[in-house]
Amino acid sequence: MDTDPLDIHALPGHLIRRLHQISVAQFMERMADEGVDLTPVQFSALAAIRRHPGIDQASVAGLIAYDRATLGKVVDRLADKGLVARRVSAADRRAREVSLTRDGEALLDRILPVVQAAQPAIFTGLTEAERETFVALLRKATLAANELSRAPQRDLPGSQAAE
């Protein structure tokens, strides 16, 4: 039997969008429960900055696969919240290097367990083995389609793609 072409519930793009909605909702609910005003993208930026202190904003955008101009606004909001500090790069006066402030470090330490605890709810209904397989397949498909994105992920020179 053929799949109904109008059945959006059978389209991978629709299902991925729905799962993304669920993921964002879970993240935002957990942050609200903690009294934290932070989006998933802001969290990703904080995590990338912690892993690479002093990284420039353009490289953060590449690591989290986010548009450079929009990432600049994300960093603006994080700086306004006192979570990151920016300075002009000594190597390139046009670039801005970012690092976590003490408040940024403390917030990230506080919410990391919360974010980790929220992950299983995204996969409600799947066994642990199915979750592992699903994540492995998501990574594989995302890596294979990376260059099709308007903001492809870009790893730092000399780093592993899994970082």
Region 129-148: what's the mean pLDDT? Answer: 95
Kindly report the backbone phi and psi dihedral angles of residue 149, in degrees, each rounded to the nearest multiple of 5, phi listed first. Answer: -80, 150
pLDDT band for position 138 (50/70/90)?
very high
Kindly report the backbone phi and psi dihedral angles of residue 82, in degrees, each rounded to the nearest multiple of 5, phi listed first. Answer: 80, 20
* 55-78 tens-digit pLDDT: 999 999 999 999 999 999 999 999
Output the pTM of the full model. Answer: 0.89
Please enumerate in sequence order all residues whose Cβ is within 8 A of that of 9, keeping only pairs 6 or more positions apart, or say none.
15
Cβ(75)–Cβ(86) under 8 Å? yes
- Residue 23 clears pLDDT 70, i.e. is over it: yes
Closest to 71 measured CA to CA, from 96, 104, 45: 45
Please enumerate in sequence order all residues whose Cβ is within 8 A of that of 82, keeping only pairs 6 or more positions apart, or say none.
101, 103, 104
- Residue 107 clears pLDDT 80, i.e. is over it: yes
Collapse the DSSP code of 104 into the 3-class scheme (helix H, G, I; strand E, B; otherwise coil) and give the result. helix
Cβ(10)–Cβ(30) under 8 Å? no
pLDDT band for position 35 (50/70/90)?
very high
- Residue 163 clears pLDDT 70, i.e. is over it: no
CA angle 51, 55, 57 (to 5 degrees): 120
Collapse the DSSP code of 92 into the 3-class scheme (helix H, G, I; strand E, B; otherwise coil) and give the result. coil
Beta strands 84-88 and 96-100, pairing class: antiparallel
Single-letter amino acid code for the residue at 134: F
